[in-house]
Chains A and B, each alone.
Chain A
Amino acid sequence: MPVVELVGVTKAYENKVAVHNLSLSIDAGQMFGLLGPNGAGKTSSIRMMMGITIPDTGRINLFEKPFERKSLERVGYLPEERGLYKKMKVLEQLVFFGELHGLTAEESRKRATEWAKRMEIADSLLKKTEELSKGMQQKIQFIATLLHDPGLIIMDEPFSGLDPVNAVLVEKTLLELKDQGKAILFSTHRMDQVEKLCDSICLINNGQAVLVGKVREIKATYERNRVIVEFEGSPSFLSSDEIAEAKNFSGHAEIKLKPHGNAQKLLHEAAAVASIFRFELVEPSLEEIFIETVGGKSDA
């Protein structure tokens, strides 16, 4: 059963329709990617799920019930616009957010300490937030989102501001939470992370869902017309008649075949002028699907 469900949701501001007739659902134990160019309507959709704004039409269900504020106690939300109380100490801040989510001060303190160890910021618990780096503050916010053990986790750009080491730590944590049966929705511009982490996606453009479904199924609908070639020798085969577009990174080429382009013929042509170490016919990446679907209109 879906943990969160949007049915025909529409929201308009002034002269702009931010979200138009959007429907999606996320089940427990599912990681869901909400994608789209800047201004597509991702944050507007998330804000409606959190009851920060109210849809003009359509309905939103949380935990199989029509939206009610009480349900938010079971939701963890990391907004795109991060914010912490700068003058507060980290532990005090986490306890405060835990209490707001219904935990006792004691329980909040216990969980905050455990999470701080897990996210490798235990040394900073007694420091003022303003003394910490942006990445550290991001981790504090991440902990504040999860402290009350929510069943639904909504994160708007959770990886922004994190270095690669901490991004991996957050990825690992999200996967563990997914394994525990949490429903996770996040929006991001990092397609590699979506491809790695998400089971399903919804691609929004101009407020409308243009692509919804399981990542595997969406990719399967696209023709396998991409070729990865690793070679040594002349790159002259990259001007073959079978190729629509090619990128050569000195010995590593990414090729898009023409419609009905013949991969076997291309392999023969390449082998004739170069030694081939790898020749792999692949599906388009999510990034390519994204760019193709939104027509290169993204300003991300």
Chain B
Amino acid sequence: MRNIFLIARREYMEQIRSRAFRLSTIGLPAVLGAVLAISYFSSLGLGTSEHLAIAAGDPALANDIRTRLLSAKNSKAIIDVVAPATPQDHATLVEQVRAKAIDGLLEVETPAGGAPAATYTSRSSGNFMTTARIKDALNDGLVSEHLTGSGMKQSDADALLKGVAIDTYQVKSTGPPVKSNAELSFWKGYVMALLLTMTTMIYGLNVARSIVQEKTSRIFEVMLATVKPSDMLAGKLVGAGAVGLTQIGIWLVAGAAILVSPFAAAALTGNFAIHFTWAECVLFPVYFLLGYLLFSSLFAGLAATCETEQELQMYMPLAAAPTWLSFSMILLIINDSNSFWSVAVSFFPPCAPIVMFLRMASQQPPAWQFAVSIGLMILSIWGTLWLSSRLYRVGILMYGKRATLPELLRWLRYS
């Protein structure tokens, strides 16, 4: 036990003092924040400063669509109207799109007695934000024209088309329903899942990289003269895990300090109010620890079979696959966080930490589901440790070439 502590302390001190730790502690949330901020602010301004042309047979409809597009939030668009448009206008306007004089051309036809038809011509095929904005303005314009044509006042038609905002409330197990913001809840869960993924993978791979480096520096034989391989592995896992917990602790404390600051109090109100529950604060480090132990114990065994860090890279898809699987289920989880597949994947140990936090973003899963997922993770950690410790105790003394699969199977039998 003393040796495990000494090895863990050495590992902890070395990593804590490293530049990589300082950079990731400050850099990871900063990069994540920057990415989210950039995507948020860029989404506000997307497609709003374009120069468009609307060509239609009906000037009133064309002008109505123009007004709707210009009244969109943050719109800086320039919109020309050509109505009534002729076939020659079509050719000229398409040529203007090609010559980059305008960014896009909306053509609307409203044949008497027939269904309206519209086309949008631009140089880019991927600007779905602009297309969606134009579609909304076009549909509203057509409905408005139809309603006013049927005798409704323009102001009534506009009021009808404005839509109704819905306030959302969430019912908790006790107490009255609380006001909720589904979008913000989702982003909170998403960010927590992302942080969990990054930390478990970073620290899991740190253990693997450290084993390969120690193997390269030939320190193992010196250590094995006094320490059992299992103690060495345990010390390494505990040390690197403690570094991860320290980093999460720093983030939690810094996050709490920011949330209670006067600036945050002013900024994070109303729709932007973020609340962390006790369950989230407790489960985040718990799932980090479990996810970290699962990844690091698996990679410790694999790293012991490698000669170089390049060889270790070969196993990276094994770490990335559960993350891909978990994040590919986001839509399913948002739609129904209690569906069979959402629950099943949250029980699958490699995906459990991420999927559980994505599920918690919509609705708190029942306690028994946490118990099952944590229990299954502990079982799988035990199994992985059993396997890895066998690979580790033979692999760390094997030099020269990467072990083949039959050799790995033989190593398992030796132990």
Binding site for B on A (CB under 8 A): 47, 50, 52, 69, 72-73, 75, 77, 79-88, 96-97, 99-101, 141, 144
Complex alpha-carbon distance, A141 and B223, angstroms: 12
Q: Contact: A84 with B217, CB < 8 Å?
A: yes
- Tell me which residues across on chain A come within 8 A of B399, comparing CB atoms: 81
Contacting residues, chain A, for B225 (C-beta < 8 A): 50, 52, 72, 75, 77, 79
Q: Is B219's CB within 8 Å of the partner chain A?
A: yes
Going nearest first, the 9 A-B pairs with the smallest beta carbon separation are: A83-B219, A83-B218, A77-B225, A81-B218, A79-B221, A100-B226, A83-B217, A52-B224, A81-B221
Is there an interface contact between B224 and A96, defined as CB atoms closer than 8 Å? Answer: no
CA distance A80 to B18 in the complex (A): 30
Q: Mark B352-363, 1 if CB is under 8 A from A, else 0.
A: 000000000000
User: Is the Cβ of B219 less than 8 Å from the Cβ of A72?
Assistant: no
Kindly identify which residue among B6, B18, B221, B228 contacts A83, using a CB–CB cutoff of 8 Å: B221
Check B219–A84 contact: CB distance below 8 A: yes
B3 to chain A, nearest CB (A): 6
Give chain B's interface residues, CB within 8 Å of chain A: 3, 6, 10, 14, 18, 214, 217-228, 397, 399
8 contacting pairs across A/B (C-beta < 8 A): A50-B225, A52-B221, A79-B225, A83-B220, A83-B222, A85-B10, A85-B14, A96-B6
Closest to A99 in B: B6
Are A88 and B217 within 8 A (Cβ)?
A: no
Q: A52, A83, A88: which has the most chain B beta carbons within 10 Å?
A: A83
Q: Is the CB of B14 within 8 A of A88?
A: yes
Given the known inter-chain contacts A72-B225, A100-B227, A101-B226, please indicate yes or no for A86 contacting B217, CB distance below 8 A.
yes
B229, closest chain A residue (CB): A52
Q: Once bound together, how far apart are the Cα atoms of A47 and B14, in whole Å?
A: 29
Cβ of A86: which chain B residues have Cβ within 8 Å of it?
217
Q: Is the Cβ of A79 less than 8 Å from the Cβ of B222?
A: yes
Q: Inter-chain contact count A-B, CB under 8 Å?
A: 57
Chain B neighbourhood of A85, CB < 8 A: 10, 14, 217, 219
| Complex CA–CA separation, A77 to B220 (angstroms) | 12
With a cutoff of 8 Å between Cβ atoms, the chain B residues found around residue A97 in the complex are 222, 226
Name the B residues within 8 Å of A144 (CB-CB). Answer: 222
B6 cross-chain contacts in A, Cβ below 8 A: 96, 99-100
Instruction: Closest B residue to A141 by CB, please name it.
Output: B222
- Given A52-B397, A72-B225, A77-B225, is A100 in contact with B3 using a C-beta cutoff of 8 Å? yes
Closest chain B CB from A176 CB (angstroms):
22
Complex contacts, B14 vs chain A, CB 8 Å: 85, 87-88
Residue of B nearest to A78 (CB): B222
Contacts A52-B397, A85-B14 given; indicate if A69 touches B218 (C-beta within 8 A).
no
Cβ-closest chain B residue relative to A13: B414
| Cα–Cα, bound, A88→B6 (Å) | 14
Task: Tell whether, in the assembled complex, residue A96 and residue B10 are in contact, meaning their CB atoms are under 8 Å apart.
Answer: yes
Residues from chain B with a CB closer than 8 A to the CB of A69 are 228
CB distance from B189 to the nearest CB of A (A): 38
Give Cα distance in the complex from A83 to B217, angstroms. Answer: 5
Candidate in B225, B227, B399 with the most chain A CB atoms within 10 angstroms: B225
Complex: chain B residue closest to A73, CB-CB: B226
Query: Contact between A77 and B10 (Cβ–Cβ < 8 Å)?
Result: no
Q: Is the CB of A50 within 8 A of B217?
A: no
Whole-angstrom CA separation of A108 from B171 in the bound complex: 62
